[in-house]
Amino acid sequence: MTLSRSWVESANSASADFPLNNLPCGVFAPGDDDPRCGVAIGDFIVDVRALEEAGLIHVADEPVFKVPFWNEFMELGPDVWNLFRERLTELLHEDAAERELVEPHLYPAGEAEFFMPFIVSGYTDFYAGRHHATNVGTMFRGAENALPPNWLHIPIGYNGRASSVVVSGTEVRRPHGQLKGPNDAAPRFAPCERFDFELEMGAVVGMPSEGMVSVAQADEMIFGYVLLNDWSARDIQAWEYQPLGPFQAKATATTISPWIVMRAALEPFRTPTPPREKELLPYLAEPGPMLYDIGLEIELEPEGRAATVISRTNYSEMYYSAAQQLCHHTTSGCPMDAGDLLGSGTISGAVKESRGSMLELSWGGKEPLTLDSGESRSFLQDGDTVRFRGHAQGDGYRIGFGPCEGKVLPARAL
C-alpha cells in the first residue's frame, strides 16, 4: 500500500498521522459548539454530522450522526463501515468532484476540543504481553514462578471499570487507597505512592454477540483500535489484589486516544502472533495474522520541563491478539456489546528500553530512570504528563492514533 493523496495538503506528508488511508473516528467540538462525530484528515477534522445533514454521506435510513458518539454507527456492521470509508475517501481524494461541498465542513484540529469517541459499554483489560507478565511475575513471585501456569493457555483478563475510561487530555487525580508495606503491621489510608501507567492498545468492539464466537468472527466484530493508558496504583494493587484481582488500583482512570483507527486502515499491517510454546486449544487458533505492526513510544514530561522518550516498543510483541481475547471472552456465553473496550495488556518488549510501565522500567523502584531534565523517576510524580504515540509505518505514509496523554494531579485533600 502507498499513500492515497488528498486535496487536504497536510494529509499528504509522510509524517502525518492522518492521511487519506487512515480516516480515524473521533468526537470533537469546534470552538464553543456542541460535540459531534468527526474524522481526522491531515491537520483538519471533517464534521461527519454536517456531511450527513448535507446529504454528502448516507449510511442508514435514519440519521446516525445526530448523537455525539460512534456506537450507533458501529452497530450497522462491517459492510457499512467499509462503504463509509469508501465514500469519505471519494470525498477527500485529490481528484474529488465534490471538494467545494466538503470544504466548509473542515475544522482545524488544533482548535478542537475532544470527547470520548464512543460510549464504553464494558471495559475488559487483558494481560497478554509475555515480557510484561514475566517481568511483573518475577518481581512479585520470583523468576521460577513468573508466568502463572494458565498464562500460556488462556488470554488472561479481568473486567475493568467502564465508567473510569476518559479521553486523552483529561487530567488524572492521584488516588487514595489502602497501602500496606510488607513490614507494616496494618494498612493505612493515604495517597498512592507508586502511581504508574501501562502502555496498551485497546480494541473497540463494534458488533454485539450472544453466545460463543470464533476467532475469525471476533476479528470481524472489532471496529478499530485506540491507544490506551491503564493508569495503575501499584501499592494499592499489591495489597488488594489477592484473591479476586485488581480493583481500586485500576479504577481511577483509563485514558484512550481521541481517535479510533478503523480495522480497515490497519489491514496492510497485520502480523502473526509469535510461535506457541505450548499448543493452544483449537478454539483459539487464528485463521490468519491477527496482530498489527504498530510502533509505540512513551514520553514522560515533568511539569515545566522537556519531555523524555522513556520507552519504544511495538504492538506485535503481544502473545495473544484482540481477536483471540474477544473469542475467549465469549466462551462463557458472555454477551458482548457495541462499545465494549478490550485493553491488550501492557506492551513490553524484550529489552529494558522497550518496557511499558514504570514498574518495569524502574524494576519496582530499584533502578530509577534519569530523564533528559536530569530528574529521576521510579514512579509518577504530581505534574508529570504521560504521553503515548503510535503509528503503523506504510510506504511513504503512516497510520497514526494521535497522542494518548494525561497529566497527574495531586491527590485531593480529604
Binding range to a second copy, per CB under 8 A, among 49-57, 219-227, 243-251, 377-385: 243-251
Answer for the pair 317, 129: CB distance below 8 angstroms, yes or no: yes
Residue 331 engages a second copy in binding (rule: CB under 8 A): yes
Q: Which of 58, 103, 274, 283 binds a second copy (CB under 8 A)?
A: 283
Q: Which of 235, 240, 317, 360 binds a second copy (CB under 8 A)?
A: 240
Least Cβ distance, residue 76 to a second copy (angstroms): 20
Least Cβ distance, residue 281 to a second copy (angstroms): 5
What element of type H or E holds 220? helix 215-221
b/e sequence 337-354, b meaning 16+ C-beta within 10 Å = bbbbbbbbbbbbbeeeeb
Cis peptide leading into 243, omega within 30 of 0? Answer: yes
Answer yes or no: 93 catalytic: no
CA atoms of 166 and 337, how far apart (whole Å): 19
CA atoms of 95 and 180, how far apart (whole Å): 64
CA atoms of 414 and 407, how far apart (whole Å): 21
Whichever of 110 and 333 has its CB closer to a second copy, that residue is 333
- # binding residues, a second copy (CB under 8 A): 62
Residue 414 engages a second copy in binding (rule: CB under 8 A): yes
Whichever of 21 and 168 has its CB closer to a second copy, that residue is 168
* Cα–Cα distance list, 314 to 157, 202, 348, 353, 354 (Å): 20, 14, 8, 12, 8
User: Which grid cell sits at 411?
Assistant: 491527590
Q: What share of the chain is helix, strand, coil (3-state, %, to 5)?
A: 25, 30, 45
Whichever of 248 and 362 has its CB closer to a second copy, that residue is 248
Q: Which of 168, 248, 311, 354 binds a second copy (CB under 8 A)?
A: 248
Q: Which of 29, 76, 334, 369 binds a second copy (CB under 8 A)?
A: 334
Residue 158 engages a second copy in binding (rule: CB under 8 A): yes
Angle subtended at Cα 357 by Cα 112 and Cα 260, rounded to the nearest 5 degrees:
35
Least Cβ distance, residue 378 to a second copy (angstroms): 21
Within residues 171-200, the interface with a second copy by CB under 8 A covers 173, 175-178, 180, 186-189
Residue matched to cell numbers 481511577: 252
Within residues 107-136, the interface with a second copy by CB under 8 A covers 121-122, 127
Answer for the pair 398, 15: CB distance below 8 angstroms, yes or no: yes
Answer for the pair 165, 204: CB distance below 8 angstroms, yes or no: no
Residue 281 engages a second copy in binding (rule: CB under 8 A): yes
Q: Which of 247, 308, 312, 381 binds a second copy (CB under 8 A)?
A: 247
Answer for the pair 362, 377: CB distance below 8 angstroms, yes or no: yes
Residue 150 engages a second copy in binding (rule: CB under 8 A): yes
Whichever of 117 and 175 has its CB closer to a second copy, that residue is 175
Residue 407 engages a second copy in binding (rule: CB under 8 A): no
Q: Dihedral of the CA atoms 198, 200, 205, 210 (nearest 10)?
A: -70
- Residues placed in the known binding site for Mg(2+): 230, 250, 254
Whichever of 8 and 120 has its CB closer to a second copy, that residue is 120
23: left (phi over 0), alpha (psi -120 to 50) or beta: left
Whichever of 74 and 112 has its CB closer to a second copy, that residue is 74
Which segments of 241-375 does DSSP mark as H helices, in order?
263-266, 322-329, 358-361
Residue matched to cell numbers 511539569: 303
Answer for the pair 309, 386: CB distance below 8 angstroms, yes or no: no
- Residues placed in the known binding site: 125, 127, 141, 198, 200, 230, 237, 241, 250, 254, 346
Residue 282 engages a second copy in binding (rule: CB under 8 A): yes
Q: Which of 77, 148, 289, 383 binds a second copy (CB under 8 A)?
A: 148
Given the residues 132, 328, 329, 391, the one annotated as active site: 132
Residue 332 engages a second copy in binding (rule: CB under 8 A): yes
Active site residues: 132
Contacts with a second copy, residue ranges (CB under 8 A): 121-122, 127, 137, 140, 148, 150, 153-154, 156-164, 173, 175-178, 180, 186-189, 211-212, 233, 236, 239-249, 251-253, 278, 281-283, 328-329, 331-337, 340, 412, 414
